Amino acid sequence: MKKILVSILSDHLVPNYLFIKEKRGQYNELLFIETTYIKEKKGAAHLEQALRKEEDSVLKVLVESDNYQKGLQSLENANLPKDVHYIVNLTGGTKIMSLMVYDFFRKFNSTFYYIPIGKNIYCNIEKGEMEPLRYRISLKEYFTLYGLLFECDNNLLKDTKKTLDLFKKQKNRNFYLSKEITGSQQASTAEDRRYYSGAWFEEYTYLRIKEELALQDEDIAMSLKIYRNDLGQNDNEIDVAFMFENTLHIIECKVSMNGYGKEPQHIIENYLYKLAAVSKDFGLIVRPYIFTLHKMDMLSEHSRENIKKRMRILGICNIVSGKELSEQKIKF
């Protein structure tokens, strides 16, 4: 019997994509249910692009997001085949959309599934069975689903040993920064100036995470420039980004939080705001961090409490200091 996999599209297409990839080989065709809003945002086109399908190659049904009766009528008017098995993913869209889709397709030979937010499992709703999501999404796939392109530079300025040794040197100095870092602008070459002024710490972060989490090249990148597909302009820059367990992690790397004529607390808060602003473009579940060698324990207790409060409000996961980076494993 022919099988059609049904997806309800919304701003956040990752659950749709994961389920389609998980069920590859188990369906013959795809069906997207979308709203005018999603159509204008080219949600279906982004999903087709990530799936490497031609634009408009998938059958689509347009419904209203908040009108149950009209939505049912739109599905009826689509004259969908009845002699097929529908694999229906109810994740995505509004609650009204999920309800109308369930009520419509339960008249047919259908199986219904749902993916809990932030979990790598999917549920057969009627049987109450949980299955693991085995597919793992790459950085390129993830950004494509949000209509984004990115460029990155994963080339190291210095060899790995030199960068790891430079971190060890700072650790042995209790993170009172060494002369080549504090005097980076006096370095003899442009490459050395770039390296010692901060690129080395990005490279250290990249190398450490890639090895520690056993990431593939397609799962992690540094020095990213993010572009909107339809605009071609550089919207954001990210020091390090990686996918782990289908969740995007982004890291702002700051060797020091001193300078600019401001108190460290105010500089840190500015970085927190910047990181929060960048994160909001990348989906429901993004894990943003600041990695720094700044001696956070030198801040007053009042400043540390204010920073923690600001992090909670802005959704920043952690400020990972040199002390935490000195531990055997980074806690994500």
Q: Are residues 95 and 195 in the same domain?
A: no
Residue 261 has pLDDT above 60, yes or no: no
In this structure, is residue 49 part of a structural domain? yes
Enclosing domain of residue 11: 3-135
Per-residue pLDDT, 257: 83
Per-residue pLDDT, 262: 64
In this structure, is residue 70 part of a structural domain? yes
Residue 120 has pLDDT above 80, yes or no: yes
CATH code for the domain of 88: 3.40.50.10770
Average pLDDT of the segment spanning 34-61: 93
Note the pLDDT tens digit of each residue in 84-103: 999 999 999 999 999 999 99
Q: Are residues 131 and 149 in the same domain?
A: no
- Specify the number of domains making up the chain: 2
pLDDT-above-90 percentage for the chain: 81
CATH code for the domain of 196: 3.40.1350.10
- Residue 330: exposure state from Cβ atoms within 10 A (0-12, 13-18, ≥19): middle
- Determine contact, residues 125/36, Cβ cutoff 8 Å: no
Q: Are residues 42 and 119 in the same domain?
A: yes
* Phi and psi torsions of 213, nearest 5°: -100, 5
In this structure, is residue 314 part of a structural domain? yes
Q: Are residues 15 and 154 in the same domain?
A: no
pLDDT-above-70 percentage for the chain: 97
- DSSP string of 148-185? EEEE-----SS-HHHHHHHHHHHHHTTT---HHHHTGG
CA–chain centroid gap for 103, Å, is 32
Give 280's pLDDT tier (boundaries 50, 70, 90): confident
In this structure, is residue 306 part of a structural domain? yes
Q: Are residues 149 and 252 in the same domain?
A: yes
- Determine contact, residues 229/140, Cβ cutoff 8 Å: no
Note the pLDDT tens digit of each residue in 128-171: 889 999 999 999 999 999 999 999 999 999 999 999 999 999 99
